[in-house]
Amino acid sequence: MNRIKQISVFVALLTILSLGSVYGQAEQLEFTLEQARTYAVEHSYSTRKAVLDQAMAEKKLKETTAIGLPQISATADFKNFLEIPTSLAPDFTNPSSGELVPIQFGTDYNVGGTLQLNQLLFNGSYIVGLQAAKVYRDMSEKMVIKSEREIKDEVTIAYGNAIISRENYETLKGNKEYLEKTLTETQALYQSGFAKEQDVDQLRILVQTAAIEFNRADRLREISDNLLKFKMGIPSSTTIILTDSLDKIVNYGNDSSIVDQSFDVNAHIDYKIALNNQDLQQLNFKNTKVAFLPTLNGFFQYQQNYQFNDLSLKSEYWFPTSVWGLQMNIPIFSSGQRWYAMQQADLDWQKSQIDTRQAEEGLMVEFLTKKSEYQFAIDQYKNSKDNLELVQKVVNKETVKYQEGMSSSLNLANAQIQFFQIQGAYIQSIMQMINARSAMDRILSNY
């Protein structure tokens, strides 16, 4: 019996450990840049809301369509007359007298039920409204595309910043450890009488500066990771592993062939949305014009009424009524209200045409601007890279010369400070290049 219990406990522990392993793995996600973009399109807050807006637009179209379909309603009522209504009628027993006598008509109980069918036959606003609902649905679909392109742009920038922050962290960590080692060695030389106290102090300043830069890089690494997770719609408690290397990110940014890609304003989602808005304003103008037209509705009504002095509900006391008909409403005079509303809608339509033209020209200017900024970012990156390689050589030479006693600690400190500055400029140039490349992809509708 004890053996069976031990086996049961062992199996239970294995189950718990396996479940813990599964849940632990669920809290860790790996992404390349392309995988991060794809994930964000489905899970980011902005794209999820855009998809819901699209679904709402689809439901709105169906709601508007249903207005022109048959509408059926039913009513029921029950009345118990505690006092039957009294009316005055001529005295039939003595008509020549001209006297009126009170007479009660009705029964103690009235029960009724009505079934009514209404059908819209003609309404200009309904026709225009149906067209507007379709255009609004099309616009909501374009807003989803716009949201997807925007989130891809944002994730690209955030992913690049996260990779750069991690690489910067590792570089500064190596610098810090190297300076700490040099300081330890110099302190030992100073204690042996082979180095000056000034050398120790200068190196101690460098180590403290390197520690500050390292701590800043550590915080930026965490901030960039959290920002990327937020953009992708991932909880901040989840660990993400970025599998693309810095070289791959740099190669993505340093691709000057993209400047040869032609710009098609008709493919840009902002221009398409501007055209949609122009169509909506045109339909709004059309809607004010059809307000001058009559509307026509048809109806059919069937009714059953029970009338008697008790609630036996016998069939001989039920009395049916049915009727059908047409109703036309003709607008005649509104003191100019409809006329001025139509003029305002016409002006809004004209403004939307100007907005479309402005969007077209603005996008062309934006393309030329982004193209120029991207070319400048590539040049700046190449210069920063060359400067970093040069300053690294200077630091290495100064370190060797210092260790051999051929250079002072001040020269080494100046070289190291210059390295920190140029390395910061190099990191910044990579970020700017990736941002500029992503902006090119977005303006060229590559996302």
User: Do 53 and 140 touch, CB atoms closer than 8 A?
Assistant: yes
Strands 28-31 and 239-242: parallel
Res. 3: pLDDT tops 60: no
Do 144 and 256 share a structural domain? yes
Q: What is the pLDDT of residues 325-352, one digit of tens each?
A: 999 999 999 899 999 999 999 999 999 9
**CB-neighbour burial class of residue 303 (10 A; exposed 0-12, middle 13-18, buried 19+):** middle
Question: Is 195 contained in some domain?
Answer: yes
Q: What is the pLDDT of residues 45-90, one digit of tens each?
A: 999 999 999 999 999 999 999 999 999 999 999 999 998 889 888 8
- Across the chain, mean pLDDT equals 90
Q: What is the pLDDT of residues 415-437, one digit of tens each?
A: 888 888 898 899 999 999 999 99
Determine if the pTM surpasses 0.85. no
Do 192 and 135 share a structural domain? yes
Question: Is 2 contained in some domain?
Answer: no
Domain of residue 103 covers: 78-121+300-330
Tokens of residue 295, six digits: 């509307």
Do 310 and 283 share a structural domain? no
Do 177 and 305 share a structural domain? no
Do 344 and 433 share a structural domain? yes
Do 318 and 211 share a structural domain? no
Do 223 and 244 share a structural domain? yes
Q: Mean per-residue pLDDT for 288-297?
A: 96
Strands 100-104 and 239-242: unpaired
Question: Is 14 contained in some domain?
Answer: no
Do 250 and 209 share a structural domain? yes
User: How many domains does the chain contain in total?
Assistant: 2
DSSP labels, 64-90: HHHHTS-EEEEEEEEEE-SS--EEEEE
When mean pLDDT is compared across 189-203, 269-283, 325-339, the lowest value belongs to: 189-203
The CATH number of residue 165's host domain is 1.20.1600.10
Tokens of residue 11, six digits: 């199996």
Do 115 and 131 share a structural domain? no
Res. 11: pLDDT tops 90: no
